């Protein structure tokens, strides 16, 4: 009988020297190529609570406009349907006309979309920015953003952001939110 001589077979090994480099490069590629989700929301600074002052403010009803966002995302201003552009124009005129004594009441149905709410808030912010820019241009000859901190404070005192938010429950009940 002939015996074959068994050769020891060598199992080929994988060359893994560059594996760490490749994984590091892929990690960097995915970090650079991916997008980070930003939080949605509104940047608002609420006034500090003054516990010593507990007076109710009387508001003239002629100096109040009511914006309502319905469950179907239909926006009305004082009972009439409006576009986003009209919100900005009418709010700008209203704030200029009524000065410090104005109040914007924003009522949002709980079933309304957050997107519509943000669009309305953007239009209100744009209206206030336009009024403040016009006031700073007449006083200081430059836009509001280019004014010094003291000048901005003076203009913000003359043109305060006065928005009161009211949230309507799904069943039609009204719950009042905090004013700004």
DSSP 141: S
Prediction pTM value: 0.64
**14 found inside a domain:** no
Residue 72 carries which DSSP code? T
pLDDT (tens place) for every residue of the chain, 180 residues total: 566 666 777 777 777 878 888 999 999 999 888 877 766 666 666 666 667 766 566 667 888 999 999 989 999 999 999 998 999 999 999 999 988 888 999 999 888 888 999 899 999 999 999 999 999 999 889 998 898 999 999 998 888 888 888 865 544 444 444 443
Question: What pLDDT score does 34 carry?
Answer: 84
Q: Could you give the dihedral angle defined by the CA atoms of residues 134, 135, 137 and 143, in that order, rounded to the nearest 10 degrees?
A: -70
Instruction: Say which DSSP state 52 is in.
Output: T
User: Domain tally for the chain?
Assistant: 1
Residue 8 is assigned to a structural domain of this protein: no
* 104 part of a folded domain: yes
pLDDT for 100 equals 85
Residue 60 has what pLDDT? 76
Q: Is residue 56 part of a domain?
A: no
For the residues of 100-139, what is the DSSP string, one character each?
A: GG-EEEEEEETTS-HHHHHHHHHHHHHHHHHHHHHHHHHH
Residue 39, domain member (yes or no): no
Taking the C-alpha atoms of residue 129 and residue 113, their distance in angstroms, rounded to an integer, is 25
Q: Is residue 142 part of a domain?
A: yes
Residue 153 belongs to what domain range?
61-179
- The confidence score (pLDDT) of residue 179 equals 42
42, part of any domain: no
Query: What's residue 99's pLDDT?
Result: 84
Residue 9 maps to a domain: no
């Amino acid at each position: 009988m002939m015996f074959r001589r068994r050769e020891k077979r060598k199992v080929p090994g994988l060359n893994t020297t560059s594996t760490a480099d490749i994984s590091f490069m892929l990690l960097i590629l995915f970090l650079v190529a991916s997008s980070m989700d930003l939080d949605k929301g509104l940047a608002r600074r609420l006034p500090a609570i003054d516990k010593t002052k507990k007076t109710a403010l009387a508001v003239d009803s002629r100096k109040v406009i009511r914006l309502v966002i319905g469950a179907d995302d239909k926006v009305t201003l004082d009972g009439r349907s409006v576009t986003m552009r009209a919100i900005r124009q009418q709010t700008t005129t209203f704030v200029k006309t009524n000065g410090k004594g104005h109040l914007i009441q924003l009522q949002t149905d709980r079933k309304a979309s957050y997107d519509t709410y943000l669009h309305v808030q953007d239009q209100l912010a744009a209206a206030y920015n336009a009024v403040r820019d016009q006031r700073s241009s007449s006083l200081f000859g430059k836009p509001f953003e280019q004014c010094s901190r003291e000048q901005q404070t003076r203009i913000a005192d003359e043109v305060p952001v006065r928005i009161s938010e009211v949230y309507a429950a799904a069943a039609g009940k009204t719950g009042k939110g905090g004013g700004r």
